[in-house]
């Protein structure tokens, strides 16, 4: 995996925008959640990752048990939680004559309770794996873990006490946090129980990712990414309507562009607002798309006027990457994201993202009554014509990408969403795609969202629902109570990071079925 790392990064801080973002910092709502059951993990080759949990006893019976050296137990909180753990521990037997040593392993999936983190060999930092080793010198004690965790299961390994005393665990609980107003969501009563459940899990996924910002994943990476923000914002408009949080995130990106005016792919919020040294073609363009969606959800003209120069600048910079034929230049570095699909050429899907963005920018320019509208319209017509001329393969009836003329799902999907062809032609293309099934497929819920929406805008609503049930419904059948960062129904061990232990099992870009169901009346 090629990592983009800049030796010199020049950030131009806009203090006014940063202050506006800070003023929009949301209130976090807290809920005390207690575990539901004591469970064991058991190997089962029929379930995802090969491990499942089995209830042993109600969690309320935990206080009846005494634990000593080498004992362990696992608590199941019954659903995914994001928050802060606290535990009361008291000794039994003789007065404690040695510190109490406790290892706590915290996980979103049963496999994290079963496979030792010491065996992890992925390329992302192992520090994302959630665990604590604690020494308690004085008992009884109340232990409140300072870090925020994302989990359903918690494993307690009693590393050591002494031969003279044992311990009892009482009042284990999580102070769950979110900036989502859970009670404000209008729950739909869908006649299809499977879509009803998919909608509910989508809403839960979004809520757990709504913290000080729209995080991409509360386990990993716990920061604000532009691609995730765009999709979270769409789901938010149809559910929680916490629109000031979208506004806050937009001002954050606009507050830290580089010296060319380009916004970063993601930002860090603590200890202060910091731009990551990662700049990606499609994510930067999505600033303009997210501003477009925000404006049409809120009619906030003041924000549109302030942020339009930043949005327009992203398009100007993207246009600089076009070659003499008005086609986006390809390169071997990680210049555009699109999807985690191995071997995917990004040229044509990125061309589609550019066209998709320009059409939305033209609408904003019209609202602002700016002459930039005419400039965009002229360039858009030229780029669309070039796309049809150089990227459409008449013989294969597919859009091709890169020097090897690759046919991928992503290229067809983004060209459909960009509206390069007519609706009837889009329908033919999507049906051709589903029949031919090119080898370069889809790796993430992020790209599956675009597949489903492409089917909908092509008039294939029933096929869209079927794909949603197969994919997101498949996650639920495989045990998801929040939707995952990565899911390949044909390869459930898949991880682009070298290990599924490091995958995020509550991830922002997976929350969009609630948007699709509600917007398109699925």
Give the three-class secondary structure for 521.
Answer: coil
Whether residues 21 and 34 fall in one domain = no
Q: Which two tokens stand for residue 341?
A: 């699909």
For residue 433, give the H/E element and its range. Answer: helix 423-436
Whether residues 24 and 109 fall in one domain = no
Q: Up-side HSE of residue 332: CA atoms within 13 Å toward CB? A: 0
> pLDDT tens digits, residue range 358-375?
999 999 999 999 999 999
Residue 144 pairs with which residues in a beta bridge?
A: 86
What CATH number is attached to the domain comprising 74? 2.60.120.260
Whether residues 293 and 217 fall in one domain = yes
pLDDT score of 9? 82
pLDDT score of 29? 98
- Domain containing 63: what range? 29-178
Domain end residue (candidates: 160, 178, 196): 178
Give the position of tokens 């300072």. Answer: 146
- Sequence-ordered alpha helix ranges (H) in 326-397: 347-368, 372-390
**How many structural domains comprise the chain?**
2
Whether residues 62 and 109 fall in one domain = yes
Listed in sequence order, the residues at least 6 apart from 444 whose beta carbon sits closer than 8 Å to its beta carbon are 339, 340, 341, 485, 486, 487, 509
- Do 151 and 80 form a contact (C-beta atoms < 8 A)? yes
pTM for this prediction: 0.96
Query: What is the chain's mean pLDDT, rounded?
Result: 97
Distance CA 343, CA 488 (A): 16
Q: How confident is the model at residue 186 (pLDDT cuts 50, 70, 90)?
A: confident
Whether residues 62 and 97 fall in one domain = yes
- The torsion angles phi and psi of 256, rounded to 5 degrees, stand at -135, 55
Q: Which two tokens stand for residue 519?
A: 């917007």
> pLDDT tens digits, residue range 61-104?
999 999 999 999 999 999 999 999 999 999 999 999 999 999 99
417 Cα distance to chain centroid: 21
Determine the average pLDDT of the residues in 220-242. 97
CA distances from 244 to 212, 229, 273, 485 (A): 11, 13, 18, 25
């Amino acid at each position: 995996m090629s990592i983009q790392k800049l030796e010199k990064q020049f950030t131009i801080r806009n203090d006014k925008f940063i202050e506006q973002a800070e003023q929009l910092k949301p209130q976090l709502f807290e809920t005390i959640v207690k575990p539901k059951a004591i469970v064991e993990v058991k190997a089962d080759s029929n379930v995802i990752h090969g491990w499942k949990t089995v209830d042993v006893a109600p969690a309320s019976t935990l206080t009846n048990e005494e634990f000593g050296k080498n004992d362990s137990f696992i608590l199941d909180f019954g659903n995914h939680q994001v928050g802060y753990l606290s535990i009361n521990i008291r000794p039994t037997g003789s007065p404690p004559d040695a510190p109490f040593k406790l290892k706590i392993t915290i996980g979103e999936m049963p496999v994290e309770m079963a496979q030792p983190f010491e065996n992890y060999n992925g390329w992302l930092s192992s520090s994302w794996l959630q665990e604590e080793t604690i020494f308690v010198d004085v008992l009884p004690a109340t232990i409140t873990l300072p870090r925020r965790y994302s989990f359903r299961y918690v494993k307690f390994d009693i590393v050591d006490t002494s031969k003279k005393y044992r311990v009892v665990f009482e009042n284990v609980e999580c102070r769950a946090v979110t900036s989502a107003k859970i009670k404000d969501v209008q729950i739909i009563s869908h006649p299809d129980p499977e879509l009803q459940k998919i909608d509910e899990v989508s809403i839960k996924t979004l809520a757990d990712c709504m913290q000080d910002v729209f995080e991409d994943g509360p386990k990993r990476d716990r920061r604000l990414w532009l691609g995730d923000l765009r999709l979270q914002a769409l789901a938010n408009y149809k559910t929680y309507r916490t629109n000031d949080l979208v506004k806050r995130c937009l001002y954050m990106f606009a507050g830290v562009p580089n010296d060319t005016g380009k916004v970063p792919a993601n930002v860090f919020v603590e200890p202060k607002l910091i731009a990551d040294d990662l700049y990606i073609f499609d994510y930067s363009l999505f600033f303009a798309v997210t501003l477009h969606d925000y404006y049409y959800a809120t009619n906030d003209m003041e924000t549109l006027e302030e942020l339009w120069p930043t949005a327009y600048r992203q398009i100007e910079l993207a246009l600089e990457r076009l070659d003499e034929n008005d086609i986006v230049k390809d390169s071997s570095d990680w210049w555009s994201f699109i999807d985690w699909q191995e071997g995917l050429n990004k040229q044509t899907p990125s061309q589609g993202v550019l066209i998709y963005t320009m059409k939305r920018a033209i609408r904003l320019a019209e609202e602002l009554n700016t002459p930039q509208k005419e400039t965009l319209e002229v360039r858009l017509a030229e780029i669309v014509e070039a796309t049809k001329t150089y990227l459409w393969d008449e013989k294969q009836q597919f859009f091709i990408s890169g020097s090897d003329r690759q046919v991928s799902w992503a290229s067809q999907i983004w060209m459909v969403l960009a509206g390069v062809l007519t609706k009837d032609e889009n329908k033919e293309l999507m049906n051709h795609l589903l029949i031919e099934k090119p080898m370069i497929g889809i790796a993430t819920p992020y790209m599956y969202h675009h597949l489903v929406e492409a089917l909908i805008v092509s008039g294939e609503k029933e096929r869209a629902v079927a794909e949603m049930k197969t994919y997101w419904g498949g996650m639920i059948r495989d045990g998801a109570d929040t939707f995952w960062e990565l899911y390949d129904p044909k390869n459930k061990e898949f991880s682009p990071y070298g290990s599924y232990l490091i995958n995020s099992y509550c991830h922002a870009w997976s929350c969009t079925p609630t948007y699709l169901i509600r917007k398109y009346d699925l």
